[in-house]
Structure 1
Amino acid sequence: MYLRIARTAAAVMLAVGAALVPAAAAGAHPDADNVAVYPPIQGASTWDRFGYSPAGSHHIVFGSWGYLNDWAVDIYRNPGATVVSPFGTKTASGHPVAVTVVTVRPGCATGNLADGGYRIGLEARDTTTGQILGRADVMHVNNKPGGIVVGAGVGPWTKLGETGRFRWSSCYQVSGDTGAHIHLEVINQHRYSCYIARGANTALNDLTVVGRVGKHYSGQRQAC
């Protein structure tokens, strides 16, 4: 059985100072079946608008199951756009995928929503096998609806909140509306997920695949 042997729990300290929960071995996803990851913003958006946050090197600040997430990127849209789950509805082999909210908390270490909005964590599960595929952290979410709570199931167009403009801080260094973005982080439950490599300022839409969860790669920040 493949394990994340390159990682240690001691290497992880989340920006919010939260303890991480080790994975249950029975919930792992040993198969290479996968689900697509899409932009977490409904409609048009932009991948790494200013070239500051390529997925191959962008900072990773969150994690799950005792490990830092696999990769991260900033996806841009001016304030007020609808934020949604980035997971597809079926795996590559056609298995239905269920998505559940696992984290709802202020995203910045200060705990103040004015510094960077919410971090909403989502978990994707293969409902045919019962196996967990992976998770995504959707960060800098504004105007979260009341029904987005831990344990809630969400579909691909369930509104998680909106893109927002927050005050300048070490957590959110944005000086204009064109800099408003969602910080997306993704992790496999078993081995490593991947992102689709693309250049800065690439236009995205609802059907643009930006990564895959459930693929088996050998380390962090891997292109598919």
Structure 2
Amino acid sequence: MTSRLARTLGALALVLGALAVPATPTAAHATADPIGIYPPIQGSSTWDRFGSTAPANHHIVFGNWGYTSDWAVDIYRNPGATVVSPFGTRTAAGHPVAVTVVTVRPGCATGNLADGGYRIGLEARDTTTGEIIARADVMHVDNKPSGIAAGASVSPWTRLGETGRFRYSSCYQVNGDSGTHIHLELINQHRYSCYLKRAAGTTLTDETVVGRVGTHYSGQRAAC
């Protein structure tokens, strides 16, 4: 076999091998059907108000399916604002999204609601395919309605509770109303979701997309 032929066959084998085995890139390989993530606070809110809780470096506290969450961020609003699900109502392909409560418990390790309110876990499912896409943890929720319990179905307008001030502790280090926030975490069922980069102190609305789930990034804290 000539060296040229051997080289050609070797290159062909590499190409076929690459086609046979999925790559693990550093960039995104989005699925065909991601879901938008919105602020979990009804009305206006503020992204990373003090410049210390951006997803690129904010601590990740929770996990699902045996893995820690993909990314976390604090979104700010004074006490008394309505807290809602962060999942969009439809996938990119237009499939309806169903959201179910999977976790309701005190958010802080002490188990005391006065230290940091509720952690409410939500699961998003594509109702057309039946596929579970992602979960979200919404933390520091106050005044949770009794109907918000594991197994409950919620819409983007369902009131999960309110933003609230809690006592200063190792779990919740807030000194004034301006520091009141919701700690939000997202995790994909498969591979990693992403967040949209924005400047600290950016004002958000109900229609501001802050991230996407159902994307296939290769690691935690991925920017879309």
**Which bracket does the TM-score occupy, shorter chain normalised?**
0.7 to 0.9
1:120 aligns with 2:120: yes
CA distance in 2, matches of 1:189, 1:195: 16
Residue identity matched to 1:89: T
Q: Report the structure number with the largest CA radius of gyration.
A: 2
Match of 1:214? 214
Taking a change above 3 Å as real, the CA distance of residues 3 and 134 of structure 1, as seen in their structure-2 partners, is farther
Secondary structure, counterpart of 1:114 in structure 2: helix
The normalised TM-score by structure 1 is 0.87
Which segments of 5 or more consecutive residues in structure 2 lack a partner in the other structure? Answer: 1-20, 25-29
Match of 1:47? 47
Contact 2:32 2:92 in 1 (8 A): no
Residue identity matched to 2:122: L
Deviation at residue 32 of structure 1 after TM alignment: 3.9
The structure where helix makes up a greater share of residues is 2
Q: Which moved more, 1:61-70 or 1:30-39?
A: 30-39
Query: How many residues are aligned here?
Result: 199
Match of 1:145? 145
For residues 79-108 of structure 1, the C-alpha deviation after alignment (integer angstroms, 9 at most, x for no partner) is 000000000000000000000000000000
Match of 2:100? 100
Match of 1:180? 180
Point out 4+ residue stretches in structure 1 off by more than 3 angstroms.
1-4
Which segments of 5 or more consecutive residues in structure 1 lack a partner in the other structure? Answer: 5-29
1:201 aligns with 2:201: yes
Secondary structure, counterpart of 2:114 in structure 1: helix
For residues 63-86 of structure 1, the C-alpha deviation after alignment (integer angstroms, 9 at most, x for no partner) is 000000000000000000000000
Q: % of aligned pairs identical?
A: 77
CA distance in 1, matches of 2:108, 2:136: 17
CA distance in 2, matches of 1:3, 1:189: 19
Deviation at residue 52 of structure 1 after TM alignment: 1.0
Taking a change above 3 Å as real, the CA distance of residues 2 and 185 of structure 1, as seen in their structure-2 partners, is farther
The normalised TM-score by structure 2 is 0.87
Contact 2:124 2:134 in 1 (8 A): yes
Deviation at residue 2 of structure 1 after TM alignment: 7.2
